[in-house]
Amino acid sequence: MTAGRAAVFFDRDGTLNEEVDFLTTPEQLRLIQGASTAVRSLNTRGFPVCIISNQSAVARGLLSEADLIPIHRKLTRELGRDGAHIDRIYYCPHHPTAGIAPYNVECECRKPRPGMLQRAAEELSLDLSGSYVVGDRIVDVQVARAVGARAILVLTGYGMTALNDCRSQGVRPDFVAASAREAVEFILETDKGDHHQDD
C-alpha cells in the first residue's frame, strides 16, 4: 500500500472559474457556481486540494508569471469567502511551439504530462494512485491516466468538446459530471476515506 494521502487536483479555467479564453487579469476571474462549496466539502473531509493549470498565455506573452499572482490571490480570496481553501496552486507557463523564450520549450509540466502532479506528490506526500483529477479538457483525463489517478470530466468550460474528443480518441473518464460540485459529490460518495484522514 502506497504511503501518502489521496488528493483532488482541479484544473482552473473552465472548472473552478469561468472560461474566458486566456484569462489575463483578476477582473476576468469569476467562480463557477458551486465551486467554492465543492472545495470546502473536500477540505472538510481532509483531502488536500491542488490546482494544476496549463498557462500557455505566459509563453505567448499575454501575461507574465508575476501577473498570475494577483489572479491566484483573487481566486483564493473568492474561495475563502465560502470557507474553502486550496493547498497548492501549480501551473505550467510553457508551450512547446508557440511563444517566447525561455517558455517555448518541451517540458514535463504541461498537461497531459504529469510533472505538476508529481511535484505535488513529492511536496505534500500524496498517493497519486488514490487521487482524483477534475477538469474540462481531454488533457485532464490523460494526465490522470498518466499517474493512475481517477479522472472526472466536467461539462463546464470546454467540457462538451472534451467529451467528444474523449469519445473519438478512446479516452475514458471515470465519471462525467455537470460541474465541479457534482464531481465532488461523486468523489465523496466513492472514496473509502481510509487514506487521507491520518497525516
pTM of the model: 0.95
DSSP state of 129: G
Q: For 12-49, how does the pLDDT look when each residue is reduced to its tens digit (9 = 90+)? A: 999 999 999 999 999 999 999 999 999 999 999 999 99
- Region 130-156: what's the mean pLDDT? 98
User: Which member of 11, 127, 136, 191 is catalytic?
Assistant: 11
Bond preceding residue 93 cis, omega within 30 of 0: no
In this structure, which topology does domain 8-190 adopt according to CATH?
Rossmann fold (3.40.50)
Q: Can you list the alpha helix ranges (DSSP code H) found in 60-179?
A: 65-80, 115-124, 138-147, 159-169
Q: For 56-80, how does the pLDDT look when each residue is reduced to its tens digit (9 = 90+)? A: 999 999 999 999 999 999 999 999 9
| 13 catalytic residue (yes or no) | yes
- Which residue type occupies 25? T
| 191 catalytic residue (yes or no) | no
Query: Residue 197: pLDDT above 50?
Result: no
- Region 111-130: what's the mean pLDDT? 97
Query: Residue 106: pLDDT above 70?
Result: yes
Terminal CA-CA length for the chain: 15
User: Which member of 13, 127, 136, 191 is catalytic?
Assistant: 13
- Boundaries of every domain in the chain: 8-190
Angle, CA of 123, 126 and 131, to the nearest 5°: 135
Q: Name beta bridge partners: 177.
A: 154
Q: Indicate the pLDDT class of residue 186, thresholds 50, 70 and 90.
A: very high
Query: Residue 2: pLDDT above 80?
Result: no
